[in-house]
Amino acid sequence: MNNLYRECGIELSDDMAVKLDKLAEYMVEYNKNVNLTRITDPDEIVEKHYIDSILPLTMVDVPRGTKAVDVGAGAGFPSLPMKIYRDDLEFTLVDSSNKRITYLDSACGILGLSCETVHARSEELGQNAKYREKYGLAVARAVASLNVLCEYCLPFVKTGGMFLALKGEKDESAEAENAVKKLGGEIVDVKKYSLPSGDSRNLVVIRKISGTPMQYPRVSAKIAKKPL
């Protein structure tokens, strides 16, 4: 299986490979009682969860020791594979589901990963001075359309930091330009690539160039009803 990673430009140490295997085993077992993911086949986990999560770190220069936040962490993608691959990153995992936070806490404990987990709605946490504009990196994977996602994520990013949006086949960057600008960001790159199966992906790289106005993020109902 390491060959598949290598083909994608991902070099894993033995320790990383062991941790990824252990995470898959634990996730599949936990998934029997708590719905975390529909992907439970070992090969699919490697490609659609692990490689998909790690590849952005091979495409973008993220400084060592960067404080990072995974907004809408869910089952821990992309943050847990990213943390295994780059243990120097200081991750905060945010999710509105207490069941998922319980899982993330236990998974981190089993794997020996030092991550902060926060049970909160991201639009509320983004207004909290302890978390607002405190991160050099925000990541999110397929949580919502990009213009909506930016309002949830960019308030966490400090000026000079970046937001990596892991998106599917469609390039949503043009539709999100207005939202990005209003929130203090700038789209600096859209990297198009494919997973080994041929599934297309877009990685939208957004740099935070100025502070986010205090009226953002709005409450979720307003974000959904009138996206920026």
Distance CA 102, CA 119 (A): 9
Distance CA 11, CA 165 (A): 23
Distance CA 89, CA 165 (A): 17
Please give the average per-residue pLDDT across 74-99, as a whole number: 97
Measure CA 203 to chain center: 11
Please give the average per-residue pLDDT across 176-180, as a whole number: 97
Pairing label, strands 185-194, 200-208 = antiparallel
Structural domain of 125: 2-225
Please give the average per-residue pLDDT across 181-210, as a whole number: 96
Q: Which residues lie across from 139 on neighbouring strands?
A: 70, 164
pTM of the shown model: 0.95
User: What DSSP letter does each residue of 177-224 carry, written as one string?
Assistant: HHHHHHTTEEEEEEEEEE-TT--EEEEEEEEE-SPPPTT-S--HHHHH
Pairing label, strands 67-71, 135-141 = parallel
Distance CA 115, CA 92 (A): 6
Please name which of 117, 90, 122, 91 lies closest in space to residue 105, comparing C-alpha atoms. Answer: 117
Percent of the chain topping pLDDT 90: 92
Residue 48 sits in a domain of what CATH number?
Answer: 3.40.50.150
- On whether the CB atoms of residues 112 and 131 are closer than 8 A, the answer is no
Please give the average per-residue pLDDT across 187-200, as a whole number: 94
Distance CA 120, CA 95 (A): 6
Q: What is the pLDDT of residue 144?
A: 87
pLDDT level of residue 1 (50, 70, 90 thresholds): low
Task: Examine the pLDDT at 123 and tell me if it is beyond 80.
Answer: yes
Q: What is the pLDDT of residue 42?
A: 86
Distance CA 128, CA 114 (A): 22
Distance CA 182, CA 28 (A): 41
User: pLDDT tens digits, residue range 130-154?
Assistant: 999 999 999 999 778 999 999 999 9
Please name which of 74, 72, 54 lies closest in space to residue 10, comparing C-alpha atoms. Answer: 54
Domains in the chain: how many in total? 1
User: pLDDT tens digits, residue range 32-86?
Assistant: 998 898 888 888 999 999 999 999 999 999 999 999 999 999 999 999 999 999 9
Write down the mean pLDDT value for the chain.
95
